[in-house]
Structure 1
């Protein structure tokens, strides 16, 4: 019986590792792989498949900016439970959210693969729909990712939407109430500086999400994923170095920055690989900041609510840092 239990536990660990490997491959390159395959098929007897698919994409091109095509069935896949349990990832609720309001969740930090945000909002692995009944989370990602074949469908079924202005405006004004637009505020720029033990976020100059909240009267909710930066180790190039310049140039043209990473192997935890390290992540949702509806907010009004948001994020961080494994004197650095 003991041996059988050990085998089951070993199998569970392997399944968790495979689930995360699936997520990493999806994040780092599956879109490019499908694009190459579809391009190759154009020159074979199967040319009609990519032609018909791209005709469909042409017809369906606006869907990523019209709320996507979420599937609760896909969001409940057991695969995502294995993904969550690998780290593991927990979600903590600190306040009620009314389904009569719309929200903008500001997620921090970006990390490398946004594992906390993806698990908590891009899937139902942490039971978001039960914890916050009547609230529909929409994880906003780079609009360019929806140009990749098949991957675009996968992302939309999981509830992801384009992070474009048109997309966010639609969700906050034409999709009823109970929408939670989830934006990883620091973006790709923040991923270049994430290191284990570092708690730094890029926020001071990021005010567009606050203006959007005011334009639609959507409440702001600070979200912090403790442990997100611990899942990979990377080479951080100094400002002004050739490596950092190259990363920034690529980020400017394609929307994300390549990083030199160290992770672990899929089945051998002590080997090098691209799977993240199995280190706990706790995603804490802070208290909503009530935002009035101001059609054309002034810079002063934006600054006021941006300041309230930063205060709310720091309060959330300080209140939960110790229970999430940080030292009492650990500070959140807002850049």
Structure 2
């Protein structure tokens, strides 16, 4: 049974800045830079926008990661707030490339971001020679300043061209895709282990085309750190959520957790353990134009491997023996 702990206030502030930093970079920095064009500081904005347009291909060509950003001490405080950890079950050889399924999405994907976009849990020491990337919505990389911050942490566009580039240039690249996507976020609730996976087969086709190994992962505790208000499909709020997704690419989730004071309600996540278990890689042949039958075959093998990974570790990380992993 998972139990709450009481993090210190500094750890709480570090966790709070996680989503706030994205909001600031999205809503404040771009308008501010446009405003500066009409002031005596116009040259700073002009130089950045010139760089922005010259550098527009970088997110599709491996990005521009920063070891300095990935090693910020802020990430270790976020790690300790829950705490967050990563468990390796098998080595990953630097001689291959890997396409990794990240499950489940949760609300903010704390486990995936902390484990693969920072060095807080020691990814480079646990998997030497492997360079991790985590794919996210492509339009994020069209937003000034936000794109640079995301690339520095090792996030990449989920576009086909960006993933193709990483899987075809060198070896030792590990590209993580949150396969269930934003649809899973809307279903994220404590004690739920339902994944949107049955019809999502594009990542398997891509892996086959590059001969990349498939790596299943499951993050225990990801859906436990927030409660969410779920709306009926006929409600106005649900319709608003659907329209919001059509515009921005992700759902407007109404969620809550704890506040700064013990026992209070707020937007901080519950301080519960989050553990990402990285499974054994599934070798795939390289087939330039795989048939649907071949894609279905390896998709079924992947689901079976993910199911076994969950069953092997569920009781150790807070799930009951009777808990089932369900695929939609």
Q: Give the TM-score band, short-chain normalised.
A: over 0.9
Where does residue 213 of structure 1 map in the other structure? 207
The 3-state SS of whatever aligns with 1:92 is strand
Corresponding position: 1:60 with 2:55: yes
Q: Corresponding residue for 2:218?
A: 224
Pair 1:195 & 2:186 matched: no
Question: How many Å separate the matches in 2 of 1:182 and 1:317?
Answer: 18
2:3 corresponds to: none
| In structure 2, C-alpha distance between the alignment counterparts of 1:49 and 1:23, rounded to whole Å | 26
User: Counterparts in 2 of 1:148-227, with a 5 A limit?
Assistant: 148-174=143-169, 176-227=170-221
Distance 2:177 2:23 in 1: 19
SS state of the match for residue 291, structure 1? coil
Q: CA deviation at 1:261?
A: 1.4
Q: How far off its partner does 1:28 sit?
A: 4.8
Root-mean-square deviation over aligned CA pairs: 1.6
Matched, 1:268 2:261: yes
Separation in 1, partners of 2:34, 2:263: 38
**2:25–2:145: 8 Å Cα contact kept in structure 1?**
no
State whether residues 32 and 148 of structure 1, in contact with CA within 8 Å, keep that contact through their aligned partners in structure 2. no
1:312 maps to 305
Q: Are 2:61 and 1:76 aligned?
A: no
User: What corresponds to 2:82 in structure 1?
Assistant: 87
CA shift, 1:249, in A, is 1.6
Other-structure match for 2:14: 19
SS at match of 1:228: coil
What is aligned with 2:323? Answer: 330
C-alpha distance in 1, partners of 2:199/2:24? 30
Matched, 1:114 2:114: no
Whether the 8 Å CA contact 2:62–2:166 is kept in 1: the answer is yes
Contact 1:233-1:263 at 8 Å conserved across structures: yes
SS in 2 for 1:126: coil
Tell me, yes or no, if the aligned pair for 1:321 and 1:327 is still in contact at 8 Å: yes
Gaps of 5+ in 2: 1-5
- What's the offset of the Cα at 1:13? 1.7
Q: Distance in 2 between matches of 1:275 and 1:28?
A: 16
| Conservation of the 8 A alpha-carbon contact between 1:75 and 1:122 | yes
Per the alignment, residue 251 of structure 1 pairs with 245
How far apart are the structure 2 equivalents of 1:248 and 1:54? 33
| Unmatched 5+ stretches in structure 1 | 1-9
Report the TM-score, using the length of structure 1 for normalisation: 0.93
| Distance in 1 separating the partners of 2:227 and 2:33 | 34
Q: Any idea what the Cα deviations from partners look like across 1:60-93, whole Å, max 9, x if unmatched?
A: 0011111111112221121111111101111111
2:315–2:321 contact (8 Å) kept in structure 1: yes
Worse-matched range after superposition: 293-302 or 151-160? 151-160
Deviations 1:199-249 (A, max 9, x none): 111101111100000000000001111110111111111234322222122
Contact persistence 1:34–1:148 (CA under 8 A):
no
122, 125, 135: which one aligns with 1:127: 122
CA distance in 2, matches of 1:330, 1:256: 28
CA distance in 2, matches of 1:70, 1:101: 20
Tell me the secondary structure at the aligned position of residue 111 of structure 2.
helix
Match among 107, 127, 140 for residue 145 of structure 1 = 140
Counterpart for residue 272 of structure 2: 279
